[in-house]
Amino acid sequence: MPDRMPGQQEEVRKDWDTYFMDIAYMVSTRSRCPRRHVGALLVQGKKLLGTAYNGAPMGVSDCSEAGCMIVEEWEQREGVAGEPEMVKKQRCIRTIHAEQNLLLFTDRIDREGSTVYVTDQPCWTCANMLANSGIVEIVFHRGYPKDAAKVEHLMAQKGIVFRRLDGYAPPPQAGAAVVD
Ligand SMILES: [Zn+2]
Ligand SMILES: [Zn+2]
């Protein structure tokens, strides 16, 4: 095998965003909800302080045992002609969202000034809780258009850095369980 050219190692080595998002995706594989696998991490500097995924409370039957707990809701979205239209969506409410589990299992002192890496753009409720949790940055990969506008507005008001990892590809082992 030829020697590595100078500088080449830097290209091969993963940057920190990719490194942590890969971990978030691997954590998401622990989820037992077939509709959505979400992973979230608490990171301070380059130190991993906590991991969480969406799941039923401990000791309670999860989606793989008891099935998803589905609710139907009407959602507004932009139609073909740019006019708002209402569509019926199904959502599983059996699980505690990954971001909320992350808040349940980390300490406030660890969250102050920290970054949350999460596979999916947080929903409104999670975003609202994260905004009050002490963290200063949220990095996500997959979009969640339903709540995007109000979540972005909230983060701007709070001065929380809110950014999507563009050009990122999840590790193939993580699969992609998202049902919209
Ligand atoms: Zn479920
Ligand atoms: Zn959520």
Residue with tokens 């992350």: 102
Look at residue 167 and tell me if it is in a domain.
Answer: yes
Instruction: Give the residue numbers of the binding site for Zn(2+).
Output: 97, 123, 126
pLDDT, average across residues 16-22: 97
- What pLDDT is recorded for position 173? 85
Go through the chain and tell me how many residues it has: 180
Over residues 111-161, the pLDDT tens digits come to 999 999 999 999 999 999 999 999 999 999 999 998 999 999 999 999 999
How does pLDDT run across 37-59, given as a tens digit for each residue?
Answer: 999 999 999 999 999 999 999 99
Would the pLDDT of 168 be above 80?
yes
Dist. CA 160–CA 133, nearest whole Å: 11
Pick from 51, 93, 98: nearest CA to 70: 93
Strands 115-120 and 47-53: unpaired
162 is in which domain, residue-wise?
16-55+95-174
Q: What does the mean pLDDT of the chain come to?
A: 91
Assign residue 47 the CATH number of its domain.
3.40.140.10
CA 139, CA 160: separation in Å to the nearest integer? Answer: 10
pLDDT for the residue numbered 85: 87
Q: Look at residue 76 in the predicted model and tell me its pLDDT.
A: 81
Q: Given pLDDT bands bounded at 50, 70 and 90, which one contains residue 28?
A: very high
Has residue 129 been placed in a domain? Answer: yes
The ligand that comes nearest to the alpha carbon of residue 38 is 2
The residues placing their C-beta within 5 Å of ligand 1, an ion, are: 33, 63, 68, 92, 94
pLDDT value of position 83: 87
Distance of alpha carbon 39 from alpha carbon 21, whole angstroms: 9
* Within a domain: 115: yes
Phi, psi for 20 (deg, rounded to 5): -75, -35
The bound ligand whose nearest atom lies closest to the alpha carbon of 55 is: 1
Which pLDDT does position 1 carry in this prediction? 47
Amino acid at 101: N
What single letter denotes the amino acid at residue 117? Y
Say if 141 falls within a structural domain.
yes
Question: Distance from the CA of 6 to the center of ligand 2, in angstroms?
Answer: 44
* 85: annotated active-site residue: no
How far does the centroid of ligand 2 lie from the alpha carbon of residue 3, in Å? 47
Q: Residue 129 Cα, ligand 2 centroid: separation in angstroms? A: 9
71 inside domain: no
Which uninterrupted H or E stretch holds 83?
A: none
pLDDT of res. 5: 55
Express each pLDDT in 55-72 by its tens digit. 999 999 999 999 999 999
More confident residue, 93 or 175: 93
The rounded Å distance from CA 176 to ligand 1 centre is 15
Does residue 86 belong to any structural domain of this protein? Answer: no
Total number of domains constituting the chain: 1
pLDDT at 10: 52
Beta strands in the chain (DSSP E): 39-44, 47-53, 70-78, 84-92, 115-120, 137-142, 161-164
pLDDT of residue 68: 96
Asked if residue 132 belongs to a domain, the reply is: yes
Domain-located, residue 65: no
Q: What is the DSSP letter of 95?
A: S
Query: Of 99, 112, 137, 152, which one is the catalytic site residue?
Result: 99
